[in-house]
C-alpha cells in the first residue's frame, strides 16, 4: 500500500489550484460525524481502510471538521521553534499518530452527476498534516500543506448511493518540516470537506483585476476565466464578456476604511458565480506603499486562527467576532500569521474592511537547531513543495480586494526557493507587492521588515539610517536597495501576559516617518486551550518535551476572546483621529488614509472631580481630508472654583456600522481646564529628638503597634501597615528572555522578593506627630532602604509621609554591571476582608502602568475589589492604577476607609498578596491587601523584544510620597 507521508512532494492526483468562490452550482457539505480510529504509526489501521466492505461499526465517531487531539484522542502538543521530531528530513519517526477516517454518503437525488455531464469534485479546505484519500476503494491521491485546500476529480469514482470516502491523516509528514510555526500541533481534517458539482460549461477558475486610478477616479475591470462567461455589475452598468476590459469612468475605490464592494455575477453556460469586486491599486513608489495613489498605515495585528475548544477549526461566527473586535479597537490590518486562513475569513475582510497581508503556510524555524544546515528553502528537494504552497495560496485568494500583500512565509531563513517563489508570484500576480522578513538581503521582498526592534532602532529605520543587517555590507547593492524600501513592522509589542507597554511610543514613531507603512502587534489571541473548571491550558500543562510552555499565551485577547487591557491600550494608541487642545483651540487630525471625518460626531462633556458638571455638546468640525488637521474653537466650558475640571472630547460613530453601533467611541482626549492649587500645608520638618516610651502610641483615632510602629487601628477599622513594598509578582515581560532583559531574575538574585524589616527609633516630637524610623532589605545583602514614616494628625484625619533612602550596594552580582531597579516603590496595608468595593478618582477604569496608560481616562470609577483583578492566564502583577487622586474602600458593616494622595498614588487592591499571586494562589486570604505606592515600573514587552526603556523603571534614589488616611 502506498505511503506518501515521507515523500517530500506536495501531493499526487490533485486538481490544479484555483480561486475559492461561491456559485449556484450544487454543493454537498460532507461535514458531520465520520468514523474514526487513531493508530500509533503511519500505517494507521492498515491496508483495509479504503475497502468499502470493512466493518467500521466498532470505530469511534468524530466530528469533521475538527482536530482529533481536541476530540478526546491523543493530546495537543505545543512547541515554539522546536520540531517535535528529529531533524532528519524528509523522514519521520515510527511513532506517528495516524487518524483513519471513513464516511458513507449518498448523493442527493438531484445531483447533476451523470445526466448533466458535469464533473464532481471533492474538496478539502484543510487537513493537518497529510491526507491520503480514497473513494469507493479507489486511491485519489494525497496532499500536504495543512492550511491550504486540495481537490480531486471524483466524477468517475463517485456513485449515487453508498459511497465510501476514506482518509488517512498522519500527524507528522514531510510537510511538517515546512510547518514549524509557533503554535499548537493540531492534526486532523480541520476545515470543511465538500463535494462540488462542476457543471459542463461551468467556470473552474477566474481572475478578477479591478484597478483604480486615483488621478481621475476611474476603474478598470478585467475578468479572465477558463471558460467563456458574462461579467455583470449592475451598479456600474457593466456587462462584458470575460476577457474584455470594462473601463468605468467613476468608481468608489475599495479600502479597509470604506470597503466598497460592487456585487456582480459571472455567468457561464453552466453556472453563475458571485462576484464581490473592490477596485483598488497597490504600488510602491518613492519608497512608500501606496494604495489608490495614497500612503496607508497598517494598524495591524498578527492573527492565528484559534478557538479554545476548536483549535484552528473556527466557525464563521468566531471569524466575525474577531473582525468586529478588531474594527472596534481601531485595527485596520491583519497579517494572517503564519498561514492562509479559512477562505471565509478573507470574504469577511473584503466586506468589513481590513487590509490583509496573506502569509503562506511556510515556516522552517526549527532548523535553527541545525545551524540552518539543510534548511528546506535552500534544498532542491523541497522546491516543488514550497512552490505548491505558494501557488495554492495565490490562486485561492487572488480575487480578494482585502489581500494587498503576499507574504512568502515566516521564519524560514533564506534559500534559492524564495527566488523561485518570487519569480512565480511576480509573473502570476504583478498587482501585489511581496513581503519576506527573514532573508537579510531582502532580495525577494518589496519591504524592509523586522520583528521587535527597540524604539531607538525603529526611529533610525524611519530616517533610513539603519545599520545593514548582519552579513550585508554597507553600500552593497542589497544594502542600497533595502534602504530605499518601505518598512513594514511585521511583529512588535509582544502581548504576552501583562502588556505590551510602549504602544503609544511605537505609534508616535510609526506616524512620524513616511517610510513606515505600518505594524502588526504580536499577536491577536492567547492560544490557551479549555481546561477543567474554566481554566486554560498552555504547552507546559501537557507533560511532553520539547515544550514551548507558556509562550503561546501572548495575545491581546484572552483565550475566550475577552479583550485584555493591552487591547484597550492598542485601541487608544492607534486611534485614527488625533484630538488635541492647543492655545484655546481643538485641533482634530484625520489619521485615516482614505476617508474624511464625515462619519464621526465630536462630543464634549465636562466633569468636576469626575462628576458630570451638566454641560457639554457637540463640536462642528469642518471637513477634513485624510492626513489633514482642522481647528475649531475650544467649547465654552465653565471651570469650577474647586476641584479638578476636565473636559473630555470624543469622536464617535455618527451612525451604526456593520461592526459597531452609533456612538461607538473611535478616539478621545481629555484636558484639564484651569488649575486649582493644592492647599495642603507642608509638613513640619522631622524632629530628631530622643525616642519616647513605646506605650500609648496613639494619634487621635489612630492606634499604632508599639513594637513595629505600624498603624493597627484607624477609627473603627482594624488594619496593619504600611510595610515598605518593592516587590511585584513578576510579569511575563519582567521575566524577559535572557541577561539583557530578565529583570525578575536580577530582582530575585538580589532578594527584592524577600525584604525583611526592622523598626528603629520611634519619635514623638509633639502630640500630633509620630515618626517611625526603620530599615528594609533582604538577607545576605547590604542593599535596602532606610525608611521614615511620619504620621501626623490633621483635621481629624491621619497624614502619612514616607521617605525611603537607598542604602547599600544595588549592583547585581550575577551580571555585575547592572544596577538593579526595584519593580515598585510602595507601601502595603492589610485591611479587613469585609471590604468589597473601591471607588476612586484618577485614571481608570482599566489597569494602568507607566508605559501603558493611554487608554485610561481621568474620572471617578467604582468597582468591586474582585473586578479589579485582570485574569491573566498565568498569574502575575495586574490591576494597578496610576495617578489616583483618592480612593475609598467600602464593605458591609465597615466604616469607609478613604485615602487621599498628595497629589497622586498608584494603587492595587486584592484579596491575596503579591507573593500568593506570584505562586498562582488566587485564594481569598481573608484580608484585603492594599498597595498605596509611589509608583511601579512599566510593563514593556521584553518577553520577546527590547528591554524596558530606562524611563519606565523605578530609579534607585530617595523616594518620598504622602497620603492622608481617614476612616
Q: Least distance from C-beta 551 to ligand IPT, angstroms?
A: 6
Q: How far apart are CA 118 and CA 25, in angstroms?
A: 10
Contact call for residue 491 and ligand IPT (CB under 6 A): yes
Whichever of 411 and 601 has its CB closer to ligand IPT, that residue is: 411
Q: Least distance from C-beta 132 to ligand IPT, angstroms?
A: 29
How many CA within 13 A on the CB side of residue 641? 0
CA-based nearest residue to 523, from 348, 313, 337: 337
Q: Which residue carries 484655546 as its cell? A: 584
Whichever of 278 and 409 has its CB closer to ligand IPT, that residue is: 409
3 state DSSP class of 960: strand
Q: Least distance from C-beta 736 to ligand IPT, angstroms?
A: 13
Applying the rule CB under 6 A, the residues between 704 and 763 that interact with ligand IPT are none
Q: How far apart are CA 51 and CA 43, in angstroms?
A: 15
- State how far the alpha carbon of 333 is from the alpha carbons of 255, 601, 773, 815, in Å: 11, 24, 56, 41
Q: How far apart are CA 297 and CA 488, in angstroms?
A: 9
CB 824 within 8 A of CB 935: yes
3 state DSSP class of 541: helix
Whichever of 182 and 734 has its CB closer to ligand IPT, that residue is: 182
Whichever of 119 and 306 has its CB closer to ligand IPT, that residue is: 306
Whichever of 107 and 393 has its CB closer to ligand IPT, that residue is: 393
Q: Least distance from C-beta 482 to ligand IPT, angstroms?
A: 19
Q: Least distance from C-beta 708 to ligand IPT, angstroms?
A: 45
**Which of 124, 452, 536, 755 contacts ligand IPT by CB under 6 A?**
452
What DSSP string describes 176-223?
Answer: GGGB--SEEE--EE-S-EEEEEE-TT--S-EEEEEEEETTTTEEEEEE
**Which of 330, 375, 402, 410 contacts ligand IPT by CB under 6 A?**
410
**Which of 451, 694, 814, 896 contacts ligand IPT by CB under 6 A?**
451
Contact call for residue 240 and ligand IPT (CB under 6 A): no
**Catalytic residue check, 491:** yes
Q: Which grid coordinates belong to 238? A: 457593466
Binding marks (x or -) toward ligand IPT, 506..535, rule CB under 6 A? ----------------x-------------
Applying the rule CB under 6 A, the residues between 274 and 303 that interact with ligand IPT are none
Q: Would you put residue 160 in left (φ > 0), alpha (ψ -120 to 50) or beta?
A: alpha
Q: How far apart are CA 170 and CA 425, in angstroms?
A: 30
- DSSP, res 366: G
Binding marks (x or -) toward ligand IPT, 790..829, rule CB under 6 A? ----------------------------------------
Applying the rule CB under 6 A, the residues between 56 and 75 that interact with ligand IPT are none
Applying the rule CB under 6 A, the residues between 313 and 352 that interact with ligand IPT are 338
Q: Least distance from C-beta 525 to ligand IPT, angstroms?
A: 12
Applying the rule CB under 6 A, the residues between 68 and 127 that interact with ligand IPT are 80
Whichever of 82 and 87 has its CB closer to ligand IPT, that residue is: 82
Tally Cβ neighbours within 10 Å of residue 878.
23
**Which of 38, 393, 944, 947 contacts ligand IPT by CB under 6 A?**
944
What DSSP string describes 275-342?
Answer: EEE----EEEETTEEEETTEE--EEEEE----BTTTBT---HHHHHHHHHHHHHTT--EEE-TTS---
Q: Which of 71, 363, 379, 411 is catalytic?
A: 411
Q: C-alpha angle 132/134/139, rounded to 5°?
A: 85
Q: Least distance from C-beta 462 to ligand IPT, angstroms?
A: 21
CB 623 within 8 A of CB 598: yes
Applying the rule CB under 6 A, the residues between 155 and 174 that interact with ligand IPT are none
CB 877 within 8 A of CB 688: no
**Catalytic residue check, 305:** no
Q: Least distance from C-beta 60 to ligand IPT, angstroms?
A: 33
Binding residues for ligand IPT, how many (CB under 6 A)?
Answer: 13
Q: Least distance from C-beta 490 to ligand IPT, angstroms?
A: 8
Whichever of 496 and 905 has its CB closer to ligand IPT, that residue is: 496
Q: Which grid coordinates belong to 948? A: 524596558
Applying the rule CB under 6 A, the residues between 534 and 553 that interact with ligand IPT are 551
Q: How far apart are CA 923 and CA 926, in angstroms?
A: 9
- DSSP, res 381: G
Contact call for residue 221 and ligand IPT (CB under 6 A): no
**Which of 71, 305, 322, 411 contacts ligand IPT by CB under 6 A?**
411
- DSSP, res 528: P
Q: Least distance from C-beta 338 to ligand IPT, angstroms?
A: 6
Q: Which of 344, 379, 491, 732 is catalytic?
A: 491
Q: How far apart are CA 82 and CA 125, in angstroms?
A: 26
Element (H, E) at 631: strand 629-633
**Which of 20, 192, 344, 554 contacts ligand IPT by CB under 6 A?**
554
Q: Least distance from C-beta 945 to ligand IPT, angstroms?
A: 8
CB 289 within 8 A of CB 517: yes
Tally Cβ neighbours within 10 Å of residue 891.
18
Whichever of 411 and 837 has its CB closer to ligand IPT, that residue is: 411
Residue least distant from ligand IPT (Cβ): 182
- DSSP, res 756: E
Whichever of 34 and 492 has its CB closer to ligand IPT, that residue is: 492
Whichever of 379 and 411 has its CB closer to ligand IPT, that residue is: 411
**Which of 71, 182, 204, 883 contacts ligand IPT by CB under 6 A?**
182
φ/ψ of residue 309, rounded to 5 = -100, -30
Whichever of 179 and 182 has its CB closer to ligand IPT, that residue is: 182
Which positions lie near ligand IPT, rule CB under 6 A? Answer: 80, 182, 338, 410-411, 451-452, 491, 494, 522, 551, 554, 944
Residues serving a catalytic function are: 411, 491
Amino acid at each position: 500500500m502506498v505511503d506518501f507521508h515521507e515523500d517530500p512532494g506536495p501531493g499526487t492526483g490533485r486538481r490544479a489550484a484555483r480561486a475559492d468562490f461561491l456559485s449556484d452550482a450544487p454543493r454537498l457539505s460532507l461535514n458531520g460525524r465520520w468514523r474514526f480510529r487513531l493508530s500509533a504509526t503511519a500505517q494507521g489501521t492498515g491496508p483495509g481502510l479504503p475497502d468499502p466492505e470493512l466493518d467500521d461499526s466498532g470505530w469511534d465517531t468524530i466530528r469533521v471538521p475538527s482536530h482529533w487531539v481536541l476530540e478526546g484522542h491523543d493530546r495537543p502538543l505545543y512547541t515554539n521553534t522546536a520540531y517535535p521530531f528529529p531533524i532528519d528530513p524528509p523522514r519521520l519517526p515510527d511513532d506517528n499518530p495516524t487518524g483513519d477516517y471513513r464516511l458513507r454518503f449518498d448523493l442527493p437525488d438531484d445531483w447533476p452527476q451523470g445526466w448533466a455531464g458535469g464533473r464532481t469534485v471533492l474538496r478539502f479546505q484543510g487537513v493537518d498534516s497529510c491526507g491520503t484519500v480514497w473513494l469507493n476503494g479507489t486511491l485519489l491521491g494525497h496532499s500536504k500543506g495543512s492550511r491550504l485546500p486540495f481537490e480531486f476529480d471524483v466524477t468517475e469514482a463517485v456513485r449515487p448511493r453508498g459511497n465510501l470516502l476514506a482518509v488517512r491523516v498522519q500527524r507528522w509528514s514531510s510537510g511538517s518540516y515546512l510547518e514549524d510555526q509557533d503554535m499548537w500541533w493540531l492534526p486532523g481534517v480541520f476545515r470543511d470537506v465538500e463535494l462540488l458539482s462542476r457543471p459542463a460549461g461551468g467556470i473552474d477558475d477566474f481572475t478578477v483585476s479591478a484597478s483604480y486610478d486615483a488621478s481621475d477616479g476611474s476603474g478598470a475591470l478585467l475578468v479572465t476565466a477558463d471558460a467563456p462567461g458574462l461579467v455583470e455589475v449592475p451598479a456600474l452598468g457593466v456587462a462584458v464578456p470575460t476577457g474584455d476590459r470594462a473601463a468605468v469612468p467613476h468608481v468608489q475605490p475599495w479600502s479597509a476604511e470604506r470597503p466598497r464592494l460592487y456585487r456582480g455575477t459571472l455567468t457561464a453556460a453552466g453556472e453563475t458565480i458571485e462576484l464581490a469586486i473592490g477596485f483598488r491599486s497597490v504600488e510602491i513608489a518613492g519608497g512608500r506603499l501606496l494604495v489608490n495613489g495614497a500612503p496607508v498605515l497598517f494598524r495591524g495585528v498578527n492573527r492565528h486562527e484559534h478557538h479554545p475548544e476548536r483549535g484552528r477549526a473556527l466557525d464563521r461566527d468566531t471569524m466575525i467576532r474577531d473582525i468586529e473586535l478588531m474594527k472596534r479597537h481601531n485595527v485596520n490590518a491583519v497579517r494572517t500569521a503564519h498561514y492562509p486562513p479559512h477562505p471565509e475569513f478573507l470574504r469577511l475582510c473584503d466586506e468589513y474592511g481590513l487590509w490583509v497581508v496573506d502569509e503562506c503556510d511556510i515556516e522552517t524555524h526549527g532548523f535553527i537547531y541545525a545551524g540552518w544546515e539543510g534548511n528546506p528553502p535552500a534544498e532542491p528537494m523541497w522546491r516543488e513543495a514550497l512552490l505548491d504552497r505558494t501557488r495554492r495560496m495565490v490562486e485561492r485568494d487572488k480575487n480578494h480586494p482585502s489581500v494587498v500583500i503576499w507574504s512568502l512565509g515566516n521564519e524560514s531563513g533564506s534559500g534559492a526557493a524564495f527566488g523561485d517563489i518570487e519569480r512565480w508570484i511576480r509573473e502570476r500576480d504583478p498587482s501585489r507587492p511581496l513581503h519576506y522578513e527573514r532573508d537579510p538581503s531582502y532580495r525577494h521582498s518589496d519591504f524592509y521588515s523586522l520583528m521587535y526592534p527597540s524604539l531607538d532602532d525603529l526611529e533610525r529605520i524611519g530616517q533610513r539610517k539603519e545599520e545593514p543587517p548582519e552579513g550585508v555590507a554597507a553600500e552593497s547593492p542589497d544594502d542600497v536597495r533595502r534602504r530605499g524600501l518601505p518598512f513594514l513592522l511585521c511583529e512588535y509589542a509582544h502581548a504576552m501576559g501583562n502588556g505590551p507597554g510602549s504602544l503609544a511610543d511605537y505609534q508616535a514613531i510609526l506616524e512620524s516617518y513616511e517610510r513606515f507603512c505600518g505594524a502588526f502587534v504580536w499577536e491577536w489571541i492567547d492560544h490557551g486551550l479549555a481546561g477543567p473548571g474554566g481554566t486554560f491550558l498552555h504547552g507546559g500543562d501537557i507533560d511532553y518535551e520539547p515544550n514551548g510552555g507558556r509562550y503561546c499565551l501572548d495575545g491581546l485577547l484572552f483565550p475566550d476572546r475577552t479583550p485584555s487591557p493591552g487591547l484597550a491600550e492598542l485601541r487608544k494608541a492607534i486611534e485614527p483621529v488625533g484630538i488635541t487642545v492647543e492655545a484655546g483651540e481643538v485641533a482634530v487630525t484625520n489619521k485615516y488614509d482614505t476617508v474624511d471625518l464625515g462619519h464621526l460626531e465630536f462630543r464634549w462633556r465636562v466633569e468636576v472631580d469626575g462628576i458630570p458638571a451638566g454641560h457639554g455638546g457637540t463640536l462642528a468640525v469642518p471637513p477634513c481630508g485624510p492626513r489633514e488637521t482642522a481647528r475649531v474653537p475650544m467649547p465654552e466650558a465653565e471651570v469650577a472654583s474647586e476641584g479638578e475640571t476636565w473636559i473630555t472630547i470624543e469622536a464617535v460613530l455618527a451612525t451604526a456600522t456593520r461592526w459597531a453601533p452609533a456612538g461607538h467611541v473611535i478616539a478621545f482626549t481629555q484636558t484639564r481646564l484651569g488649575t486649582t492649587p493644592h492647599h495642603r500645608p507642608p509638613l513640619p520638618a522631622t524632629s530628631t529628638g530622643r525616642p519616647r516610651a513605646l506605650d500609648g502610641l496613639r494619634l487621635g483615632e489612630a492606634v499604632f503597634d508599639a513594637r513595629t510602629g505600624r498603624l493597627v487601628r484607624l477609627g473603627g477599622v482594624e488594619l496593619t501597615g504600611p510595610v515598605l513594598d518593592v516587590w511585584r509578582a513578576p510579569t511575563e515581560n519582567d521575566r524577559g528572555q535572557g541577561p539583557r532583559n530578565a529583570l525578575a531574575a536580577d530582582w530575585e538574585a538580589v532578594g527584592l522578593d524577600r525584604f525583611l524589616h526592622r523598626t528603629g527609633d520611634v519619635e514623638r516630637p509633639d502630640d500630633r506627630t509620630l515618626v517611625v524610623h526603620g530599615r528594609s532589605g533582604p538577607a545576605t545583602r547590604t542593599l535596602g532602604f532606610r525608611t521614615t514614616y511620619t504620621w501626623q494628625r490633621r483635621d481629624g484625619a491621619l497624614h502619612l509621609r514616607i521617605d525611603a533612602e537607598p542604602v547599600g550596594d544595588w549592583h547585581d552580582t550575577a551580571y555585575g554591571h547592572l544596577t538593579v531597579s526595584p519593580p515598585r516603590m510602595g507601601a502595603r496595608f492589610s485591611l479587613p476582608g469585609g471590604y468589597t468595593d473601591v471607588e476612586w478618582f484618577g485614571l481608570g477604569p482599566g489597569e494602568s502602568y507607566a508605559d501603558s496608560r493611554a487608554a485610561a481616562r481621568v474620572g471617578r470609577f467604582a468597582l468591586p475589589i474582585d473586578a479589579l483583578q485582570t485574569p491573566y492566564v498565568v498569574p502575575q502583577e495586574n490591576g494597578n492604577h496610576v495617578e489616583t487622586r483618592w480612593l475609598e474602600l467600602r464593605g458591609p458593616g465597615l466604616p469607609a476607609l478613604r485615602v487621599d494622595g498628595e497629589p497622586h498614588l498608584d494603587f492595587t487592591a486584592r484579596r491575596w498578596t503579591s507573593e500568593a499571586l506570584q505562586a498562582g494562589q488566587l485564594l481569598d486570604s481573608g484580608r484585603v491587601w492594599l498597595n498605596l505606592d509611589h509608583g511601579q515600573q512599566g510593563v514593556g514587552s521584553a518577553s520577546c523584544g527590547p528591554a524596558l526603556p530606562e524611563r519606565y523603571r523605578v530609579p534607585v534614589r530617595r523616594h518620598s510620597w504622602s497620603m492622608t488616611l481617614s476612616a
